[in-house]
Structure 1
Amino acid sequence: MAFSMFKSCTTLALTSLFLTSAAAPTARQAPNYAPTAQSDTFKVIANVTGTDLPQSVNGWALTSYHLSAGSGYAVLVDPTTPSRDFYINGTASEVRFNSATVVSDGGSPPFPWGMVVNSPANTVSIKAGMGEQGLGLTIFPDPVPKLHGPASAGWYACEAALPSGDAVQLFSMPLGDTAPAGCAQVTLLPQCTEGDGVEHPFANTVNCYPDVAGIDWTVYSA
């Protein structure tokens, strides 16, 4: 009889422990994202997310490759080469509804050069003017600020023979596509800069990274 009572008590204790454990909430690990700062101007830095080029373009910056007066291709250059500062031009409403533009100043006195995606080749230009609506930086609720294109799945960069010499040319990657063989798939991240002192009435304060090259992405959620 004593054994039966002991067995019964043990069973009740184990059942109670199981129910308590099952009912206890478990702590969920919160996502951990790389810290950002804020600025009105930024450089655009490539972060390789797939196959790279023979000479890695990870950490390279976006700038323009001169084609003709007021027109150039978007290319990536190594960190030792001067590159452009950019800003998001538009009202708060235009930013919210994805109709702002990505602009960089050039010339003397400075005037706007905007980013444009050229169909159907998907080349990217930086040319005189305010640029193409639909290009911009991702905003809340996306926790990772990055450059996006109009109806674009992302970006890739390829070695290209251009009129004035070889360069690493940037292309827009349409939805459903992947980077062609021999090209590098990249995410384009904003790196905060102090700007050139030129006032831009419709330049937006954006989230950007203090130092893209210094981020150890293995310790972050994205």
Structure 2
Amino acid sequence: MLAAVVLSCLQAVVLASPIVRRHQPQSKSKGFTLVVKVTEPTTDFEPSIDQYYVSSIHVGPGQALGGVDPQSARIWYQNGTASDIGQGKGTIVWDSGEPAFPHGFKLAEAEDQVSPVRVDIGHGTTGIQIASPWDSSYPHLTVPGGTGSYIVCNETVRYYGERKFLVLKYAAADVPKGCAKIRLVPQCAELPGEGSLSRQDFAQEVQCYDDVAKSGEIGKEDER
């Protein structure tokens, strides 16, 4: 009788779990690009930004906003010790300049619960890293304690006058009207040339896809 009750409970747990981790990548790499996966098609742009890459929009010496682009892709790495990553204390970085300096992925101060993504000199926001949370069947870029989502908004950037860019942000609550709700999925890439000291000492491997575009089932559960 007890065995039957235990089995019934286990079956209930399995049935209640909405996520099956069947889309986990088989590859690992220290370098990767971040590929846009639109999770709510009704918020997408025309043309679609699905499969765009995370890049950066220069706004001053050592300063940039996060943006997305169909061709220009930054190659990132996950920075920290193995212990840092295990405790959710890693950062996401790309190297630029001669000599190379780390430019960190970070969330700027929020306004109306929306934070612009910055890519400035430094190591970025601690805890932003590649992970596979309980509610996802695939790895993507997460925010520590975050229950919101990354978004892309088509808007002007003051540094360039009236010129519009596809700007990357993080919405802690509702997605603003006119912005696309997305996730950022790692695609394996080779780190270029000589890197910064932080890359040489602390770049950690992540699970990543060889080609996100050919992994068509990624994100289907997000659309349901």
Is the TM-score greater than 0.5? Answer: yes
TM-score class, shorter-chain normalisation, is 0.7 to 0.9
The 1:202–1:214 alpha-carbon spacing in structure 2 relative to 1, beyond 3 Å, is: same
The 1:52–1:130 alpha-carbon spacing in structure 2 relative to 1, beyond 3 Å, is: same
Q: In the alignment, is the contact (CA less than 8 A) between 1:149 and 1:172 conserved in 2?
A: no
Q: 2:156 maps to what in 1?
A: 161
Matching of residues 144-183 of structure 1 within 5 Å: 144-152=138-146, 153-162=148-157, 163-164=159-160, 165-174=163-172, 177-183=173-179
Report the identity percentage: 28
Q: 2:215 maps to what in 1?
A: 215
**Unaligned stretches of 5+ in structure 2?**
1-10
Amino acid at match of 1:113: H
User: By how many angstroms is 1:140 displaced?
Assistant: 7.5
Matching of residues 99-114 of structure 1 within 5 Å: 99-114=89-104
* TM, length-normalised to structure 2: 0.78
CA distance in 1, matches of 2:52, 2:191: 19
The 1:189–1:31 alpha-carbon spacing in structure 2 relative to 1, beyond 3 Å, is: closer
Matching of residues 19-30 of structure 1 within 5 Å: none
Deviations 1:21-58 (A, max 9, x none): xxxx9xx9x75325331000100010001120122110
User: By how many angstroms is 1:221 displaced?
Assistant: 6.4
Amino acid at match of 1:48: V
Q: Which runs of 4+ in 1 moved over 6 A?
A: 218-222
2:39 to 39, 45, 49: 49
User: By how many angstroms is 1:178 displaced?
Assistant: 2.5
Deviations 1:50-101 (A, max 9, x none): 12012211000001100010111000001xx322100010011111111111
The 1:219–1:189 alpha-carbon spacing in structure 2 relative to 1, beyond 3 Å, is: closer
**Cα RMSD (Å) of the superposition?**
2.3
The 1:31–1:133 alpha-carbon spacing in structure 2 relative to 1, beyond 3 Å, is: closer
User: By how many angstroms is 1:109 displaced?
Assistant: 2.0
**Unaligned stretches of 5+ in structure 1?**
1-24
- Equivalenced residue count is 191
Q: 2:3 maps to what in 1?
A: none
Matching of residues 174-193 of structure 1 within 5 Å: 174=172, 177-193=173-189
1:60 to 44, 52, 67: 52
Q: 1:96 maps to what in 2?
A: 86
Q: 1:70 maps to what in 2?
A: 62
